[in-house]
Amino acid sequence: MIKTLRFPLLTLLPFCFCCFPEITALKDGEDPTIKTMEDFSGYPIHEPHFPNAVSSLSVDIHSLQKQIDELSTFSDTPAPSVTRILYSDKDVLARRYIKNLMGLAGLTVREDSIGNIFGRWDGYEPELAAVSTGSHIDAIPYSGKYDGIVGVLGAIEAINVLKRSGFKPKRSLEVIMFTSEEPTRFGISCLGSRLMAGSEALEKALKKTVDNQNISFLDAARSAGYAKVEEDLSSVFLKKGSYSAFVELHIEQGPILEEEGISIGVVTAIAAPASIKVEFEGNGGHAGAVLMPNRHDAGLAAAELALAVEKHVLESQSIDTVGTVGILELHPGAINSIPSKSHLEIDTRDIDENRRNNVIEKILQSALAIAEKRGVKLSEFKMLNQDPPALSDESIINAVESASQYLNLGHKLMISRAYHDSLFMARISPMGMIFIPCYKGFSHKPEEFASKEDIANGVKVLALTVAKLSRY
């Protein structure tokens, strides 16, 4: 049955957030999305050119779940695990699947030379910078089927929701599927968005990068149909201002939303990691023959530095500062041999770049002091990467919050402690993220799960958010 507009005046007004409080008074059983779509569309949905709008305004969660399940079958490991590595045969098939769905949604599909995929819905002022949304579909070995996927398939469904409603965007809307958010194959995380954001260092590095089978990045990309011309890679760069906004829908990958029974996380900042590689060299020797006063033990230097990392992180007195020694290797690694070399890799993260860099400086000072005290050589202290954290844009935070309120969904402001393509999109566009709960916070393993209800809520909030942003 066709609903009549209860707030016909709103359809005549330019859409703005101040409208939200007035239109939250809904009757029981009424789907607030439907009302909003009517409002967004600028005219009643029973206009003759939207004959089927009423029946199709809500999220088609059954199709969306089916797509999530189907996409998970493009995997190199058996279900329920998912393994989808950049430019593998399964990755190429999955990409085809995404492009097909974009086409079915009526989007104009294009790809750049490393395989970032874009599906565009032209607005009625197509010369304006577009509003974009998206995520990734690559999956680390033996992981799950929701990480990233929800933000790509969910974005296409958000477009479908808006199209079915009769909504016409002023700015174009663009769905992006980023190439290789996971560092699995070439050791570079957020490869697609990092290059899109104009990393010249990455462009150079990619020309020399090989995987663990000694296959070069360029050969792998070519085998998947990309990077046809080597110089192509800089064509991936996008200028600042190419998008007026970027929003990413993602599972939380942590337990907070589920534990607190909250539907939507509104991300205010993304913590960024810095990775440090450290190597000590000592004398080594026989575990029995070399007496304690004569030792220069590279292993103990590493152990001492690992404890110093913890100490310096805690000294920041901020809960947002974290540090981890995830790799600690000793050479030669025999029980009866004093370690002659040690190798550590340290990950430290914060949402405050100065505070994080201060911790890194203290770690360096400790490494120098430990080396001197123990008579070992600090042969390497190298920053592997040092990405700046990103803050979400105020207007996008407001848009996500207002959409959640309008849909009567509990929401909370939160920090993303994992990082995402959004971290790099923030370099070229105002950025924001929407989190939905996931079972026990599990991610990167087959048990990863998000309920249909939570996914549908996330898609609705995303649809309202990009619709709102496309009107600015």
Kindly list the residues in this chain that would bind Zn ion in the complex (CB under 5 A).
147-148
DSSP 350-367: ESSHHHHHHHHHHHHHHH
Q: Smaller CB distance to Zn ion: residue 147 or 297?
A: 147
Give 84: exposed, middle or buried? Use CB within 10 Å, 0-12, 13-18, 19+: buried
Q: Report the residue number, 147 or 393, with the smaller CB distance to Zn ion.
A: 147
| Cβ 248 to Zn ion shortest distance, Å | 9
CB 342 within 8 A of CB 378: no
Q: Which is nearer to Zn ion, 249 or 467 (CB)?
A: 249
CA atoms within 13 A on the CB side of 202: 23
Q: Report which of 417, 415, 411 is spatially closest to residue 461, judged by C-alpha positions.
A: 411
Give me the torsion for CA of 357, 362, 367, 373, rounded to 10°.
170
Minimum separation from the CB atom of position 136 to Zn ion (A): 6
- For the CB of residue 27, give the shortest distance to Zn ion in the complex, in Å: 38
Find the shortest distance in angstroms from Cβ 181 to Zn ion.
5
Nearer to Zn ion, 377 or 444 (CB): 444
Q: 279 vs 421, which CB is nearer to Zn ion?
A: 421
Q: Which segments of 32-148 does DSSP mark as H helices, in order?
A: 32-41, 61-72, 89-104
CA 37 to chain centre: 28
- Phi and psi based region of residue 45 (left: phi greater than 0; alpha: psi -120 to 50; beta: remaining): alpha
Which parts of 224-352 fold into alpha helices (H)? 256-260, 298-315
Q: In angstroms, give the least distance from the CB of 141 to Zn ion.
A: 15
Which CB, 147 or 203, lies closer to Zn ion?
147
Q: Which residue's C-beta sits nearest to Zn ion?
A: 148
CA distance 249 to 362: 36
Q: And the tokens for 431?
A: 């950025």
- End-to-end CA distance of the chain: give it in Å, rounded: 32
Residue labelled with tokens 């999530």 = 68
Shorter beta-carbon distance to Zn ion: residue 143 or 321: 143
Taking the least distance from each CB to Zn ion, the nearer of 148 and 437 is: 148
Q: How far is the CB of 411 from Zn ion (least distance, A)?
A: 20
8 Å CB contact between 309 and 363:
yes
Q: How far is the CB of 423 from Zn ion (least distance, A)?
A: 11
Amino acid, res. 414: M
CA–chain centroid gap for 463, Å, is 18
Exposed e or buried b per residue across 60-69, where buried means at least 16 C-beta atoms within 10 angstroms of its C-beta = bbeebeebbe
Q: Which C-beta is closer to Zn ion: that of 309 or that of 423?
A: 423
> Residue 420 CB, nearest distance to Zn ion (Å)?
6
Smallest separation, CB 157 to Zn ion (Å): 18
